[in-house]
């Protein structure tokens, strides 16, 4: 909504005159029907024969410098949401929603750019055309150079919403929210301050995570787990000791101490890669996760309350997983969740890749070598960054869908109800503008939504070609 400050005196004069005229028609210049009167007057302003009330209210709008998107005020066209303007109504709670729409467009553009940059780098690494279908082209190269396909294990990228940021976003729109006491309803895991006295309620499990080059572990390990085999047993990783079968590498010149893969049974140390996570009762090189330890969590641990199935935990720290912001007014609900979702922080996952190169005599050795180098880049650099961006894209995409739904649902209903209340001319006019602008939210988000969904789908196809878990 455009307002000309230099017209305030004229605005006051016309508002007083409208009060007398509208009162005679059973309306108040600042009452519940003024926005409808203004809206009607805007449609008939050029025809003064249509009625004195409508004409005067139209003059009020002009004198006050009031205009909806698409109108011209003093020769300047009023911009709307599609033009990047969120100041539609002049009512803070409503315009906060429009601000979230613009924030979404910016966040979606950033995420799309990040995904597309990694896809472009993958194409370059594998010598693909700039517009190539990454998944299809990579599938073809795997068929040419890899025997039996490829398998990549990865934990999902870890994404966390800052509960404080979510509360702040809610409080900006709804002044009834107390930032000091409000909490986020976390449906995943909520981070706590590390402490031996840290506790969770009955709906959650206390989880301690320890990371390092060598962590004594009695839980789940992600990385590699080294155990001591007091009796000879099968070792699926690296055997450090004696091997009853053939060994791929030895630690001594005599060939008695194995330091590689053992085809028989191993006696000594056995280190196994467990990128996807597995029980470890030895030394974990990576991250060790223990649930409900009897003595509480160590001071250096990352501590979480992990919500049980179909439950949630109230959170003031960082929430990993889905969440609900503090309860706010209907017109603020979509904005609060959107702003928190757009600021989610995701970390790239660790990957483990397994494949075997073909040894056919007719394979171009130089081309296969370039392919091998590209695979190394893929699992060490490109893919972790791509999965990180794709994880954030999921949050952003859901926020966009929620905005579109709310524009035609909760926000419109709230605005419609507000218009029926006791309003000033300016507020009534602004809310009438908002009603007309809400249907344009979908149009404003169509392009970024489609681009985002296309990129998410491309990432899913790529995961399938790479035989990725999850």
pLDDT at 400: 93
Q: Interior CA angle at 112 toward 334 and 185, to 5°?
A: 30
Please give the DSSP secondary-structure letter assigned to residue 343: T
CA dist 71 to 47, 62, 414, Å? 17, 11, 24
Digits of tens for pLDDT over the chain (470 positions)?
Answer: 545 444 444 444 444 444 444 443 333 443 334 445 445 444 433 443 344 444 555 556 666 667 789 888 778 888 999 999 999 988 888 899 999 999 999 999 999 999 999 999 999 999 999 999 999 999 999 999 999 889 888 877 889 988 888 888 888 888 889 888 889 999 989 988 766 567 888 889 999 999 988 998 989 998 899 999 999 999 989 999 999 999 999 998 888 899 999 999 999 999 998 766 788 999 999 899 999 887 778 878 889 999 998 899 998 888 998 888 888 887 788 888 898 889 899 999 888 888 999 988 788 889 999 999 999 999 899 999 999 999 999 999 999 999 999 998 888 888 888 888 777 777 888 888 899 999 999 999 999 999 999 999 999 999 999 988 65
Which tens digits make up the pLDDT trace of 233-245?
Answer: 999 899 999 999 9
Strands (E), 301-460: 302-307, 313-315, 318-320, 323-324, 345-347, 351-357
- Specify the pTM: 0.73
Contact assessment for residue 223 and residue 350, using Cβ atoms and an 8 Å cutoff: yes
pLDDT (0 to 100) of residue 229: 94
What pLDDT shows up at residue 254? 85
DSSP 9-67: HHHHHHHHHHHHHHHHTT--TTSTTHHHHHHHHHHHTT-GGG-HHHHHHHHHHHHTT-B
**Is 354 within 8 Å of 76 (Cβ atoms)?**
no
Residues 409-448 pLDDT 10s: 888 888 888 888 777 777 888 888 899 999 999 999 999 9
Rounded-to-integer distance, Cα 156 and Cα 112, Å: 19
Closest by CA position to 131, among listed 142, 141, 119, 140: 119
pLDDT value of residue 390: 95
CA distances for 196 relative to 206, 208, 296, 320, angstroms: 11, 10, 4, 22
* Surface-to-core class of residue 58, CB atoms within 10 Å of its CB (0-12 exposed, 13-18 middle, 19+ buried): buried
pLDDT of residue 45: 37
The pLDDT assigned to 164 comes to 84
pLDDT, position 127? 95
pLDDT at 58: 55
- The full set of domain ranges for the chain reads 5-78, 92-157+348-409+439-465, 189-311
**Which two structure tokens, joined as six digits, stand for 374?**
């590209």
* Contact indicator for 366, 356 with CB cutoff of 8 Å: no
For tokens 């509360």, name the residue.
167
Q: What is the pLDDT of residue 16?
A: 45
């Amino acid at each position: 909504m455009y307002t000309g400050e230099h017209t305030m005196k004229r605005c006051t004069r016309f508002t007083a005159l409208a009060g007398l005229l509208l009162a005679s028609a059973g309306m108040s210049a600042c009452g519940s029907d003024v926005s409808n009167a203004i809206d009607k007057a805007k449609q008939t302003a050029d025809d003064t024969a249509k009625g004195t009330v409508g004409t005067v209210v139209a003059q009020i709008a002009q004198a006050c410098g009031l205009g909806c998107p698409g109108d011209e005020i003093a020769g300047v066209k009023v911009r709307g949401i599609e033009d990047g303007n969120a100041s539609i109504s002049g009512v803070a709670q409503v315009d906060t929603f429009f601000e979230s729409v613009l924030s979404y467009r910016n966040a979606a553009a950033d995420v799309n750019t990040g995904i597309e940059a990694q896809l472009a780098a993958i194409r370059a690494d594998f010598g693909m055309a700039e517009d190539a279908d990454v998944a299809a082209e990579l599938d073809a190269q795997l068929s040419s150079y890899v025997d039996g396909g490829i398998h990549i294990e990865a934990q999902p990228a870890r994404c966390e919403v800052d509960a404080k940021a979510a509360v702040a976003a809610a409080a900006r729109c709804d002044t009834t929210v107390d930032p000091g006491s409000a909490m986020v309803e976390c449906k995943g895991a909520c981070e706590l301050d590390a402490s031996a006295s840290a506790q969770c309620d009955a709906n959650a499990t206390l989880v301690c995570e320890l990371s390092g080059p060598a962590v004594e572990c009695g839980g789940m390990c992600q990385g590699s787990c080294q155990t001591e085999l007091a009796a000879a047993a099968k070792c699926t990783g690296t055997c450090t000791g004696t091997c009853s079968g053939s060994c791929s590498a030895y630690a001594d010149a005599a060939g008695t101490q194995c330091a590689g893969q053992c085809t028989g049974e191993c006696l000594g140390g056995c280190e196994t890669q467990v990128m996807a996570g597995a029980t470890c009762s030895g030394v974990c090189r990576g991250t060790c996760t223990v649930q409900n330890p009897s003595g509480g969590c160590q001071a250096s641990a990352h501590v979480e309350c992990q919500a049980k199935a179909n439950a949630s935990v109230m959170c003031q720290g960082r929430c990993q997983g889905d969440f609900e912001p503090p309860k706010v007014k209907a017109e603020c609900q979509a904005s609060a969740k959107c702003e928190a979702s757009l600021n989610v922080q995701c970390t790239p996952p660790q990957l483990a890749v397994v494949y075997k190169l073909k040894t056919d005599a007719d394979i171009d050795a130089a081309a296969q070598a370039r392919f091998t180098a590209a695979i190394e880049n893929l699992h060490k650099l490109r893919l972790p960054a791509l999965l990180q961006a794709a994880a954030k894209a999921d949050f952003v995409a859901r926020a966009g869908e929620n905005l579109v739904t709310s524009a035609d649902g909760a926000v419109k209903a709230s605005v419609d109800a507000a218009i029926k209340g006791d309003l000033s001319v300016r507020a009534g006019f602004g809310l009438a503008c908002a009603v007309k602008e809400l249907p344009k939210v979908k149009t404003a988000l169509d392009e970024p939504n489609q681009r985002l969904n296309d990129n998410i789908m491309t990432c899913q196809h790529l995961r399938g070609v790479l035989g990725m878990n999850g």
